[in-house]
Structure 1
Amino acid sequence: MARIVMKFGGAALASTEQIQEAARKAIAEKDRGFDVVVVVAAMGQTAKDVKMMVRHLTDDVSKRELGTVMSTCSQLSSALFAIAIQEAGYDAMSLTGWQAGIHTDRMYRHARINYIDVSRIEEHFAQGQIVVIAGEQGIDDEQNITTLGKGGAETTAVALAVALGAERADIYTNVDGVYTADPRYVTKAQKLQEISYDEMLELSNLGSHVIHPRAVELAKKFQMPVIIRSSLVESIGTLLKEEVEMEKNLVVRGVAFESDIIRLTVGYDAHSDASLADMFTTLAENHINVDIIVQAIIDGVKPTVSFSILKEEFAEALRVLEDSKLSLGFSFADFEIGLAKVSIIGSGMVSNPGVAARMFDRLRRENIPVKMVSTSEIKVSVVVPQDDMIRAANALHDAFNLEQALYI
């Protein structure tokens, strides 16, 4: 029998009525002849309440215990979901991550899946049951509960789909698919019928929060089809796959943006003092993600290197730089806040020169200054003043005719 994995996020499980509606979607797939696995995330408010209880006890909780506590949130979701299915007259079984055979490394709160033993899930399939699994969690080789961190439920769903040889993974969200831009801010945004793994990965990394990059990377690695669809309304959604039809021959197929970007600049007295390897190795060892990097070496001017980071990592980055100033050999560090990143994405950019020039020309005509630039084969990102972020996104959406994208 063909299999399908369905993932529901916290927004789709915020009330018993919503849980019942999500359960009906799972039952509908069972009635279509599928063996069904449902992966659920923690209900949003439940997770907040649990974190508050922990904070009332201590400001210095161990990662192991915090992970164990937080794992109970998605366990609650899975049990309630199974109860809703049972009340509708169907057989269901809820499982924790470790009961479902999800084995991870020991990185508490940021664990990675090593392998999945699907034997118990197979037993429940043989009994005709819908299996509901608590997402975001597993167990390490010492039998400790682990949690996967951001994107954990989506990553779990794709990993289970791969392990079970499923036909596809359906990711249910509060939007009805992937759009050419965030429709809340870009009025002419259109829904895409299909998008490639590479394009979705760039969109996810550049500010789109429809699906986590970890899940996209896994889907691409194992060529697992993924459909992103709405948990609120009936819709076809957007299919993630390796290659897609070029919708109306659009070279650029999406615009993404992200606020609260900070530019850090580190200066040296001499070029011989500057070691990019040492600088970024130190930051990486402290789990600080660096994005756009610009190095300036000009005769007669002290060399500098600038890089962008997210606002939430700013304080830690400054601490690391200050603690490592002597070993890294820089003379000063400066920063600029109030910035945002705006990006254009499209696999067609590889074979179409002039895309970046077209982007810069439109931003120039909009009088939007470009602070930093980063490119790859399928994307161009610019750092601009945050006050100009939405205007830049709309202008670029218009410049590349994305309102003409094929949509449903």
Structure 2
Amino acid sequence: MTRIVLKFGGLAIASTDYIQEVAYKAIAEKKRGLDVVVVTAAMGRTTKELAKMARDISDNASKRELDVLFSTTSQVASALLAIAIQEAGYDVVSLTGWQAGVQTDAKHRNARIEDIDVTRIEKHFEQGQIVVVAGEQGIDDAQNITSLGKGGAETSAVAIAAAIHAERVDIFTNVDGVYTADPRHVPAAQKLKEISYDEMLELSNLGSHIIHPRAVELAKKFQMPVVIRSSMVDVAGTLLKEEVEMEKNLIVRGVAFESDIIRLTVGYDAYSDASLADIFAVLAENRINVDIIVQAIIDGLKPSVSFTILKEQFAEALHVLENSKLSLDFSFADFEVGLAKVSIIGSGMASNPGVAARMFNCLRRKGIPVKMVSTSEIKVSVVVAQDDMIHAANALHAEFNLAEALQV
């Protein structure tokens, strides 16, 4: 029998009325003759309340206990949804992440899925049940509850879909698809019918928070079709797939931007002391994501390396660097705040030279200084002052004719 995985979170499960609407969506897929798995994210207000309670008790709670605490939030959502489906007259079972067979490593608060044993899910399918799984969580080899961190629910959904060989994953969000830019800040943004895994991965890494990069990576690895769609209105969403039909041969298909970027600079007394491998290995071991990297080696000046990180990882990055100062042998660390990243993305860029020059020229005409640059085959990112972020995004959206090219 054909299988489908549906993921809901945020507003979609914020109240019992909304949860009942989710139940109807799951039942509708069951009526089509499909085996259905629904993955729930945490209920937002519950998470905030539990976080406050934990802070009231301790400023230094262990990550293990926080995982145990916060895992209950998506379990609450899954149980309430199962009750709603039962009330509608359908057979259903709710499972925690570990009951659903989600095995992870032991990195609390940011675990990675290592395997999924779908034996129990398969048994429930044989009994004709809808299966509701609490997302964002699993269990490690020591039988400790773990949480997957940001994007854990959609990552769970894609991983489970791959494990049960589902037809596709529907990610229900508070937007009705993937746009050429964030329409809240770029009024001319247009919805895309399709987007490639690679383009979506770049968008997700560069500021679009519709779906987490980890989920996109899994979808690409297992060639799992994913539909991004609205939980509020029944309209066509955006399909993530390997190859897409290019709308009117667009070279650039999206503009992404992200605020609260911090530039960290680490300096050395001599080039012989500078080891890029060592510094980024230490950061990687602590799961600190580094983006744009620039190394400067100039005669007469001390060598340095600058890189960007997100604001929420700033304190931890400084802590890691300070604790590793002797082994890394750097002489100073400095930082700059008040920055943002603006990027253009499109698979057509790989075969069309001159895109970066056009981007830089557009920003120059608008009087927007560029502080750092990073490129790949399908994206160009620049770091600018945060005050220039929205201006730059709208200018680039217009420069590459994204509004006109997609209008019917």
Same fold (TM over 0.5): yes
1:97 maps to: 97
Listed as ranges, the gaps of 5+ residues in structure 1 are none
Cα separation, 1, equivalents of 2:3 and 2:324: 52
Q: 1:4-403, aligned counterparts within 5 Å?
A: 4-403=4-403
> Is the alpha carbon distance of 1:370 and 1:25 closer, same or farther for their aligned partners in structure 2, counting shifts above 3 Å?
same
SS at match of 1:239: strand
Cα separation, 1, equivalents of 2:34 and 2:406: 30
CA deviation map 1:4-52 (0-9, x unaligned): 0000012210001110111111111111221111000111001111122
- Displacement of 1:323 in angstroms is 3.9
Q: Verify the 8 A CA contact 1:257 1:389 in the aligned structure 2.
A: yes
Listed as ranges, the gaps of 5+ residues in structure 2 are none
Percentage identity across paired residues of the two chains: 78
CA deviation map 1:147-182 (0-9, x unaligned): 211111101111111111110000000000000000
Q: Report the more deviating stretch, 309-318 or 6-15.
A: 309-318
Cα separation, 1, equivalents of 2:269 and 2:141: 49
CA deviation map 1:305-327 (0-9, x unaligned): 21111122223333333444444
Q: Report the more deviating stretch, 321-330 or 168-177.
A: 321-330
- Displacement of 1:121 in angstroms is 1.5
Cα separation, 1, equivalents of 2:308 and 2:272: 23
CA deviation map 1:80-126 (0-9, x unaligned): 00111111222211111122122222222222222222222122222
Q: Verify the 8 A CA contact 1:193 1:406 in the aligned structure 2.
A: no
Q: Report the more deviating stretch, 210-219 or 287-296.
A: 287-296
Cα separation, 1, equivalents of 2:399 and 2:298: 34
SS at match of 1:262: strand
Cα separation, 2, equivalents of 1:352 and 1:332: 41
- Displacement of 1:135 in angstroms is 0.7
Cα separation, 2, equivalents of 1:216 and 1:54: 32
Cα separation, 1, equivalents of 2:116 and 2:3: 16
- Displacement of 1:254 in angstroms is 0.6
SS at match of 1:109: coil
- Displacement of 1:253 in angstroms is 0.5
Opposite residue 149 of structure 2, the aligned amino acid is G
Cα separation, 1, equivalents of 2:283 and 2:118: 38
- Displacement of 1:266 in angstroms is 2.5
Q: How many residues align?
A: 408
Q: Report the more deviating stretch, 388-397 or 18-27.
A: 18-27
Cα separation, 2, equivalents of 1:326 and 1:64: 29
SS at match of 2:406: coil
Opposite residue 99 of structure 1, the aligned amino acid is Q
Question: TM-score scaled to structure 2, two decimals?
Answer: 0.96
Cα separation, 2, equivalents of 1:373 and 1:397: 18
- Displacement of 1:407 in angstroms is 6.7
- Displacement of 1:405 in angstroms is 4.4
- Displacement of 1:304 in angstroms is 2.4
SS at match of 2:187: coil
Cα separation, 1, equivalents of 2:278 and 2:144: 35
- Displacement of 1:143 in angstroms is 2.2
Q: Report the more deviating stretch, 310-319 or 23-32.
A: 310-319
